[in-house]
Structure 1
């Protein structure tokens, strides 16, 4: 299937907003104009093979430059060569008047030179050497079709850039709204009665799954960076399936949580659709530029992206900015346990000790390190362990952890108390917890 037809089908199949489709790259129109570009070049004596040779020999240059109004002005410059001289001479000879010949009285015959005949026998016009109107060795070849081609292409890329900016602003506004909604339904509640009406832990699990899905960006070493739209779609589907499998949306205790979750999914769907639309049009630009080079040999594949480097549509993806903002304004609203985990015991830093080097460890791990005469911080190797005491407990962080992680802090408290009793009682300690695992 030819790309032009596939491009049209893709625009229709994905149910893009009509104002998006109106701004799509006019691939078929550009392809028709490209045919006229080729015809115009051949008419002036510059077929693809000739241009390829002239460019290779540095006897021609094709430039894409911006004028004062930042409009692209393509320019073909050639250096007079034997090729141009032969074209010029042939055109002049063809235009000479004809004369009767003995073999055809009263008839006409083209005045072509005989093998032994000198050019001096022909009028001065036929012997005039090729000259540049500019007075130097380079000639500016006037072309109209390629000016129109790049004028239309630049205009459409610019309009797509404007469309992308508008969509970015729209999604930015939606992120503010979603952030406000989630902050209301996922905020911590005081007391057992209020906590029973909180959706804090449901939202934490949902956002934890979303981070794990890495829908639009991957942080893995093997496949780091921005996702393609197809990969992003698969990751978004996985995220929604996991939420459904765990029945997280059904477990919401506050009605507005369900509304906020639907808004969150809708924003991701819009961002995915935008990414698909951008990729589709970027492919259209790449294809038409490649076809331009194939039909003309002018080699604009490398120069066009450079002259259009101000266009965000060409150089970057909207998903990068939106995902960064989504992380700042929505995902960060519900802190994750991993951000407050002690690197020694890999559980929450209950009664966190903030060392002089500013690194944090839970109090039990700190006591153990001191009892073992450890001196250096496990993270930065600063000599601070033995200087730590009760004044190093970060009480502000203690209150924060109690507020946002009530279950985790209570569990860690119970664990610390049991471990402390075991240390004090030794062999007399009786563990009232569940029996040990018989498998592992």
Structure 2
């Protein structure tokens, strides 16, 4: 199936918003203009084979540059000694060319619609008389109209896609703020006493932990890190939804508004996925039409086009990374994860947290053990601070924070600490899970 037809079907198949489809790359229009570009080059005597040879011999260059207003100005220049290429309807002897660079008519502006070229007009002067010396001295311009029209249409569309991306970015960020507020209301712990019947803290913590593990749109993996493709993002999003379903987390919500917030969260991810698919589809269309341009003209703009486009978003980046960062700040960070407050020694919650002079945190039991073993250096930065730690190094503000956000984990850690302490005191007399026996009676 030809790409133009496949492109049209893909735009219709995914039920993209109408205003998105209206801004899609006009692939068929560009393809028609490309036919005129090829025709104009051939009429000037520069068929693809001739151009390929001239470019290879460094006797011709196609320069795609932007002016002060950031508009693309394509220009084909050749060396005077090699301007023997003739229009198909004219005959001009090479010997008639002057020895010094001669004049070509200026290229048309990028907004000019390609029409009947003066090159094929019966009254047109010989080709050598229609050349204009450029500022490069040894190079002369070849007048072309259709290529300016081609890049004018393409540049305008890329700029419109950039504008569309900006609007969608703003809309999604606003939705993230709304969803973040919804989740904050249903997931926050209650004061002064934790009331689990009025909080879905642990359900949301599990949901967001799964979401972080899924790495739907952006991966931090060392091997396959970076932004996801739309296909991979779809698979990861499906995995996330399936895992949430297997654990029946939505059914375990105790607050009705949690279910609404969860649906809004899924809807936001679906919108972001659709945006990523639309972006990839249009980027493929641009890649295809530029590749076709090079194939039909041998002008070689594949490498230079992305550099001169000055595209804020569409060519140079995707919005998935920025949106994921915003999602992390405004939603995921609202429900802190225990992994962010884990002691690196015992790999459980850092309770009671000892903040060393080097600012690193360890739980109090691990700190006591390190001191008893005469350890001196911080396991993270190797600063000589272990033996200086005492009760004043307990981070009481963090203690209150952990009690509020991790009530189950802190209580479990306290029990484990007490059991471990009893085991140290009683030695062989200690029975796990039992109260310490009386050794007097």
| Common topology (TM > 0.5) | yes
- What pairs up with 1:52-201 in 2 under 5 angstroms? 52-81=52-81, 84=84, 91-92=91-92, 132-134=131-133, 136-190=137-191, 194-201=195-202
Q: Deviations over 1:74-126 (max 9, x none)?
A: 11112223551777996158xxxxxxxxxxxxxxxxxxxxxxxxxxxxxxxx9
Q: Provide the C-alpha distance between the structure 2 equivalents of 1:90 and 1:162, rounded to a whole number of angstroms.
A: 46
Residue equivalent to 1:326: 327
Count of aligned pairs: 402
* Equivalent residue number for residue 264 of structure 1: 265
Q: Which runs of 4+ in 1 moved over 4 A?
A: 85-90, 126-132
Q: For 1:127 and 1:301, how far apart are their aligned partners in 2?
A: 33
SS of the equivalent of 1:74 reads: strand
Checking the alignment, whether the CA contact within 8 Å between 2:59 and 2:82 is kept in structure 1 is no
Please name the residue that 1:4 is paired with: 4
Partners of 2:367 and 2:340 lie apart in 1 by 18
After superposition, the Cα gap between the structure-2 partners of 1:433 and 1:26, relative to the gap in structure 1 and judged at 3 Å, is farther
In the alignment, is the contact (CA less than 8 A) between 1:62 and 1:75 conserved in 2?
Answer: yes
Q: 1:49–1:85: structure 2 CA closer, same or farther, 3 Å change rule?
A: closer
Q: Secondary structure at the match of 1:91?
A: coil
Deviation (angstroms), 1:196: 2.2
**Counterparts of 1:92 and 1:226 in 2: how far apart (Å)?**
56
Query: Post-superposition shift, 1:433?
Result: 5.9
TM-score by length of 2: 0.87
CA 1:186–1:139: 2 relative to 1, 3 Å: same
Aligned-partner Cα distance in 2 for 1:417–1:258: 39
Q: Say if 2:42 and 2:88, in contact at 8 Å, map to a contact too.
A: no
- The secondary structure found in structure 2 opposite 1:381 is coil
Distance 1:433 1:156, change over 3 A: farther
Post-superposition offset of 1:139: 2.1
What is the aligned partner in structure 2 of residue 106 from structure 1? none
> Which residue is equivalent to 1:380?
381
Q: In the alignment, is the contact (CA less than 8 A) between 2:92 and 2:127 conserved in 1?
A: no
Instruction: Kindly indicate whether the alpha-carbon contact (under 8 Å) linking 1:202 and 1:252 is maintained by their aligned counterparts in 2.
Output: yes
Partner of residue 101, structure 1 = none
Partner Cα separation in structure 1 for residue 85 and residue 298 of structure 2: 21
Match of 2:336 in 1: 335
- TM-score normalised over the length of structure 1: 0.87
Q: CA RMSD in A?
A: 2.2
Partners of 1:279 and 1:143 in 2: CA distance = 31
| Alignment partner, residue 290 of structure 1 | 291
* 1:218-242 superposed Cα distances (whole Å, 9 cap, x missing partner): 1112211111000000000000000
Q: Could you say which residue in structure 2 is the equivalent of 1:231? A: 232
Query: Structure 1 residues 159 and 82 mapped into 2: Cα distance closer, same or farther (>3 Å)?
Result: closer
Correspondence 1:351 to 2:376: no
1:275 and 2:269 are equivalent in the alignment: no
Cα 1:86/1:339, change in 2 over 3 Å? closer
Contact 1:342 1:348 in 2 (8 A): yes
1:124-165: CA deviation from partner (whole Å, max 9, x where unpaired): xx9998784438543211111111100000000000000000
Distance 1:84 1:397, change over 3 A: same
* 1:318-370 Cα distance to aligned partner (Å, 9 max, x none): 11110000001110000000000011111001111111111111111111111
Residue 84 of structure 1 aligns to a residue whose secondary structure is coil
Matches within 5 A, 1:21-40: 21-40=21-40
CA distance in 1, matches of 2:307, 2:253: 51
Deviations, residues 25-44 of structure 1 (Å, cap 9, x unaligned): 01011111101100000000
Kindly indicate whether the alpha-carbon contact (under 8 Å) linking 2:349 and 2:409 is maintained by their aligned counterparts in 1. yes
* Contact 1:293–1:300, Cα closer than 8 Å, also in 2: yes
Q: Secondary structure at the match of 1:65?
A: strand
Please name the residue that 2:47 is paired with.
Answer: 47
Give the SS at the match of 1:76: strand
CA separation in 2, counterparts of 1:153 and 1:183?
Answer: 44
Instruction: Indicate if the aligned counterparts of 1:80 and 1:130 stay in contact, CA closer than 8 A.
Output: no
- The offset of 1:426, in angstroms, is 1.8
In the alignment, what sits opposite 1:112? none
3-state DSSP class of the match of 1:190? coil
In the TM superposition, residue 413 of structure 1 has moved relative to its aligned partner by 0.5
Aligned partner of 1:115 in structure 2 is: none
Contact 1:63–1:74 (8 Å) recurs in 2: yes
What displacement does 1:418 show?
A: 1.1
Instruction: Name the residue aligned to 1:423.
Output: 424
2: distance between equivalents of 1:89 and 1:280? 41
What per-residue deviation string (whole Å, max 9, x for no partner) do you get for residues 192-222 of structure 1? 6722221000000000000000001111122
Provide structure 2 residue ranges, at least 5 long, that are not aligned to the other structure.
94-124, 436-441
Whole-Å Cα distance in 2 between the matches of residues 128 and 410 of structure 1?
Answer: 90
In 1, Cα distance between equivalents of 2:127 and 2:25: 47
